[in-house]
């Protein structure tokens, strides 16, 4: 199936070529020419099997059509589990991959696709991160032949463990600590992409959720988990998504569009309220990002808003399928504490945003909350809130021993490309 740009819909190409491009040449984001359907009739024996069936239509006729099964098996080789902590409320544990955050799904899928496509020359992945993306991308692409990675992260705005995950690699992974905010980093990436000569010279591509390759496995796990929930309880769950750049939330809406048994999608934001404001006022305004305890969601101008506006032509349509709620830092702390006292489960600050939003808007309705990261990644926040220590999983504690490599730069493309 071909994909098209959100701006000029006659700008079309095969899916795997669009994954290499990252952003469309007119500045738009890629979307499928047909949203697809049929998720309701998938019978799958495993998540990997479900994913293959859900994604196959999009790779039909693509150069990688016959590689898809291998790509999925290599990329998504860790569990997706649905943890029912109440009869009709579940946490979708998306943190069992190598970097303990849901971004492993998209990043690893992308790495497998791009390493199949990099035959013709060296690709450079340029990625801005508010925390978890960079770590997942670095881990997924480390030592992949034919691919260099440059990671931009905002100085002082990621947790110590996240910083380690961004800087411990070396080899084909370069890390840049930027004097600025996440939005500054994201803007640098956008500016680099709009510069045709830079883009060609370095064969730049993106691993941010502007890349459609990131969204595909996310659409699949939302479809898969809603099906499991429906089979077990007989009701269609609402999906509660801790939202930053709207990649994961868009994946959920896409799964609903394709027929997965999903009631509504609740886009839960922290104090970066641009999405929630849009639901309230009907007007989208990009805001400067503010720092919160759920830092991977500190996004003032969510890049997937453009996709949302394509999927839903107006706010009334959007509101039939989804809702939004913003959650403050003090509510995040209360929620971390309550979840631990009530269920004995430490949750990360992002998951806590989802939990509080669900309580506010959904009450006793059935729902699945995306648990987007392992609580131990944010132990500086979680441990004082629950008054107890949490163990780092061995795959994270091992990182702390490693040496860091990074460049300090100001938020400009000149400073960045000087280091190449």
Binding site for ligand PLP (CB under 6 A): 101, 103, 131-132, 209, 242-249, 296-297, 350, 372-373
Alpha carbon distances (Å) from 27 to 30, 127, 132, 173, 381: 10, 16, 25, 26, 38
Please, what is the minimum distance in Å from the beta carbon of residue 131 to ligand PLP? 6
Please, what is the minimum distance in Å from the beta carbon of residue 311 to ligand PLP? 15
Q: How far apart are CA 60 and CA 52, in angstroms?
A: 12
The residue among 14 and 141 lying less far from ligand PLP, judged by its C-beta, is 141
CB neighbours (10 Å) of residue 407?
15
The residue among 94 and 123 lying less far from ligand PLP, judged by its C-beta, is 94
The residue among 42 and 136 lying less far from ligand PLP, judged by its C-beta, is 136
The residue among 42 and 152 lying less far from ligand PLP, judged by its C-beta, is 152
Please, what is the minimum distance in Å from the beta carbon of residue 205 to ligand PLP? 18
The residue among 247 and 366 lying less far from ligand PLP, judged by its C-beta, is 247
Crossing angle of helices 47-59 and 212-233, in 10° steps, is 130
Are the C-beta atoms of 224 and 44 separated by less than 8 Å? yes
The residue among 103 and 379 lying less far from ligand PLP, judged by its C-beta, is 103
Please, what is the minimum distance in Å from the beta carbon of residue 166 to ligand PLP? 12
Please, what is the minimum distance in Å from the beta carbon of residue 327 to ligand PLP? 12
In this structure, is the dihedral angle defined by the CA atoms of residues 136, 106, 46 and 374, taken in order, positive or negative? positive
Please, what is the minimum distance in Å from the beta carbon of residue 176 to ligand PLP? 19
DSSP bridge pairs for 3 = 13, 32
Q: How far apart are CA 69 and CA 284, in angstroms?
A: 39
The residue among 55 and 332 lying less far from ligand PLP, judged by its C-beta, is 332
Alpha carbon distances (Å) from 391 to 151, 354, 377, 394, 397: 28, 23, 10, 9, 9
Q: How far apart are CA 103 and CA 72, in angstroms?
A: 15
SS3 sequence of 310-336: HHCCCHHHHHHHEEEEECCHHHHHHHH
Please, what is the minimum distance in Å from the beta carbon of residue 275 to ligand PLP? 9
SS3 sequence of 148-201: EEEEEEECCCCCHHHHHHHHCCECCEEEEEEECCHHHHHHHHHHHHHCHHHHHH
Structure tokens at 118: 């990099």
Please, what is the minimum distance in Å from the beta carbon of residue 149 to ligand PLP? 17
Structure tokens at 297: 């969601």
- Write down the residue that tokens 């803007």 correspond to: 187
The residue among 249 and 261 lying less far from ligand PLP, judged by its C-beta, is 249
């Amino acid at each position: 199936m071909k994909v098209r740009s959100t701006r000029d819909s006659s700008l079309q190409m095969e899916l795997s070529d669009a994954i290499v491009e990252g952003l469309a040449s007119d500045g738009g984001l890629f979307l499928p020419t047909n949203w697809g359907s049929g998720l309701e009739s998938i019978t799958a024996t495993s998540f990997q099997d479900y994913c293959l069936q859900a994604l196959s239509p999009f790779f039909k006729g693509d150069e990688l059509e016959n590689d898809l099964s291998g790509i999925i098996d290599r990329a998504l080789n860790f569990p997706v589990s649905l943890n029912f902590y109440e009869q009709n409320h579940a946490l979708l544990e998306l943190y069992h991959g190598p970097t303990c955050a849901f971004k492993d799904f998209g990043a690893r899928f992308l790495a497998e696709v791009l390493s199949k496509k990099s035959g013709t020359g060296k690709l450079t992945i340029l990625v801005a991160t508010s925390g978890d993306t960079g770590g997942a991308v670095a881990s997924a692409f480390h030592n992949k032949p034919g691919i260099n990675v440059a990671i931009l992260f905002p100085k002082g705005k990621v947790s110590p463990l996240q910083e380690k995950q961004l800087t411990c690699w070396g080899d084909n992974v370069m890390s840049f600590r930027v004097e600025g905010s996440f939005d500054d980093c994201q803007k640098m990436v956008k500016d680099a992409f709009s510069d045709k000569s830079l883009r060609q010279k370095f064969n730049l591509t993106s691993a941010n959720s502007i890349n459609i390759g990131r969204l595909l496995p996310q659409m699949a796990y939302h479809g898969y988990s809603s099906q499991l929930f429906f089979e077990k309880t007989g009701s269609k769950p609402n999906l509660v998504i801790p939202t930053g750049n709207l990649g994961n939330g868009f994946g959920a809406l896409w799964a609903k569009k394709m027929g997965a048994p999903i009631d509504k999608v609740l886009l839960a934001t922290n104090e970066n309220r641009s999405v929630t404001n849009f639901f309230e006022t009907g007007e989208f305004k990009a805001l400067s990002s503010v720092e919160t305890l759920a830092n991977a969601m500190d996004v003032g101008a969510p890049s997937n808003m453009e996709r949302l506006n394509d999927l839903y032509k107006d706010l009334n349509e959007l509101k039939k399928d989804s809702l939004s709620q913003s959650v403050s830092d003090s509510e995040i702390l209360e929620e971390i504490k309550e979840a631990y006292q009530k269920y004995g489960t430490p949750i990360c600050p992002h998951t806590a945003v989802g939990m509080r939003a669900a309580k506010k808007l959904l009450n006793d309705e059935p729902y699945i909350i995306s648990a987007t990261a392992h609580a131990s990644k944010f132990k500086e926040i979680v441990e004082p809130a629950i008054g107890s220590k949490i163990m780092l999983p061995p795959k994270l504690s091992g990182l702390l021993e490693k040496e860091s490599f990074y460049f300090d730069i100001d938020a400009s493309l000149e400073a960045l490309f000087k280091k190449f």
